[in-house]
Amino acid sequence: MRMNPKVLVLTGYGINCDIETQFAFNLAGGDAKRVHLNDIIHGKESLDDFHILAIPGGFSFGDDIASGRVLANKFKYNLRESVQSFIDEEKLILGICNGFQVMAKLGILPGFDKNYREQQVTLTFNDSGRFEDRWVHLKVNPESKCIFTRGIEKLYLPVRHGEGKFVSKDREIRNRLIQQNHVVVQYVDEDGKFAGYPWNPNGSENNIAGICDETGRIFGMMPHPEAFCHLTNHPRWTREKLEGEGDGLAVFRNAVQWVKEKF
């Protein structure tokens, strides 16, 4: 496609990484627009007009009851069908941090057998019992079909959450996530090895930081790629010779590129 892919960046109700997420998509060649959830619910804007849906980080509804739960219900009870058709049209959905929490609780991740309506996994309180802002090393699963991480081997990004511990409902689900390569990114140490806290900042099972559905088009992750789109975002940019661009930008470039090829 010749036009820049259209990206809907969700806002409202306490979402708060919308501006930098919009900026990241635009930097990557997208045409991103911040749209208030109510404007979609009230029909002022339609998901049909976009190729990518991004649910950014933040504190929707203040994390009240549980992170992402109430926003997930807003989708579930108001926009279930439009989200389903967005998925059916083979478009992309990205959830970051609070966005990932929403997707997990809504059931569009992991979306086994294309059933996007049943909650199988969750993101719950960090083992430390605390919100933490901390940069983490991520290893990308080379076998994953995830569109957003194509060509990426590793990432260094910040996590900023109190409820990021990934838990599956049971062992069967846990195994299936691994075996069928739903796991996209995992927390590792500087040498790329699995290690405990603080490298795995929240106690996630199997060090899982992000998963995708079986198509690779729907992806959620706890770390913030939009927070590393400029080299000076890196916590050690004054001491390490960094080149190129921020690690996070590749995630957005991949999404934009894929839409350009596909549509």
Partner 1 sequence: MPHRIEVGFKLGIKDSLGESVKKRIIEDLNIPVDDVKTIDVYTIDANLSEEQLKILGENLFADPVTQVFDFDNPLAKDFDWLIEVGFRPGVTDNVGKTSKEAIEDILNIKANVYCSRQYLIKGNLKRELVEDIASKLLANPLIETWKIKSVGDKEIEIAIPEVKSGHEAEVREIDLDVDDEGLMKISRDRVLALSLEEMKTIRNYFKDPKVIEERKKFGLGGNPTDVELESLAQTWSEHCKHKIFNALIEYEEGGKKEIIDSLFKTYIKKSTDEIGKRVDWLVSVFNDNAGVIKFNDKWNLVMKVETHNSPSALDPYGGALTGIVGVNRDPFGTGMGARLIFNTDVFCFASPFYKKELPPRLMHPKRIFEGVRKGVEHGGNKSGIPTINGSIVFDDRYLGKPLVYCGTGGIMPSEINGKMSHIKEIANGDLAVMCGGRIGKDGIHGATFSSEELNENSPATAVQIGDPITQKKMFDFLLEARDLGLYKTLTDNGAGGLSSSIGELAQISGGCEIYLDKCPLKYAGLDPWEILLSEAQERMTVVVSPEKLKEFLELAKARGVESTVVGKFTDRKKFHVLYKNKTVAYLDMNFLHGGMSQMRLRAVWNAPKREEPAFECPENLTEDLKKILSRLNVCSKEHVVRQYDHEVQGGSVIKPLVGAQNDGPSDAAVIRPLLDSNEGVVVAHGICPKYGDIDTYNMAACAIDEAVRNAVAVGGSLERMAGLDNFCWCDPVKSEKTPDGEYKLAQLVRANKALYDCTTAFGVPCISGKDSMKNDYQIGDTKISIPPTLLFSVIGKIENVEKAVTMDVKNPGDLVYVLGMTKNELGGSEYYAMRGFVGNTAPAVDARGAVKMYNALSEAMKKGLVKSCHDCSDGGLGVALAESAFAGGFGMDIELKKVPVESVERDDAVLFSESQSRFVATVSPENKDEFESIMNGNVYARIGKVRNDKEFVVKGLKDNVVVKASIDELKEAWQKTLRW
Interface residues toward partner 1, by CB under 8 A: 11-14, 16-17, 19-20, 23-24, 36, 38-39, 42, 44, 57-59, 61-66, 69-70, 73-74, 76-78, 105, 119-122, 124-135, 158, 160, 167-169, 203, 226-227, 229-230, 232-233, 235-236, 238-239
Rounded to a whole number of angstroms, the minimum distance from the CB of residue 191 to partner 1 is: 15
Catalytic, out of 97, 146, 212, 229 = 97
**Three-state DSSP class for residue 69:** helix
State yes or no: is 224 an active-site residue. yes
Strands (E), the chain: 6-11, 31-36, 52-55, 92-96, 121-124, 132-140, 154-161, 165-168, 183-188, 208-212, 218-221
Least separation in angstroms between residue 62's CB and partner 1 is 4
Give burial (CB, 10 Å; 0-12/13-18/19+) of 189.
middle
Residue 81 a catalytic site member: no
For the CB of residue 88, give the shortest distance to partner 1 in the complex, in Å.
24
Cβ 202 vs Cβ 208: under 8 Å: no
Count the helices and strands in the chain (H runs, E runs). Answer: 7, 11
Query: Any catalytic annotation for residue 212?
Result: no
Pairing of strands 6-11, 52-55: parallel
Contact 63, 162 (CB under 8 A): yes
What is the smallest separation between the CB atom of 55 and partner 1, expressed in angstroms? Answer: 15
Task: Name the catalytic one among 51, 161, 182, 224.
Answer: 224
8-state DSSP, 5: P
Q: What is the nearest approach in angstroms of partner 1 to the Cβ of residue 129?
A: 4
Cβ proximity to partner 1, 213 vs 226, nearer residue: 226
How far is residue 64 from each of residues 25, 138, 209, measured CA to CA in Å? 29, 29, 22
C-alpha–C-alpha distance, residues 82 and 39, integer Å: 13
List residues with catalytic annotation. Answer: 97, 224, 226
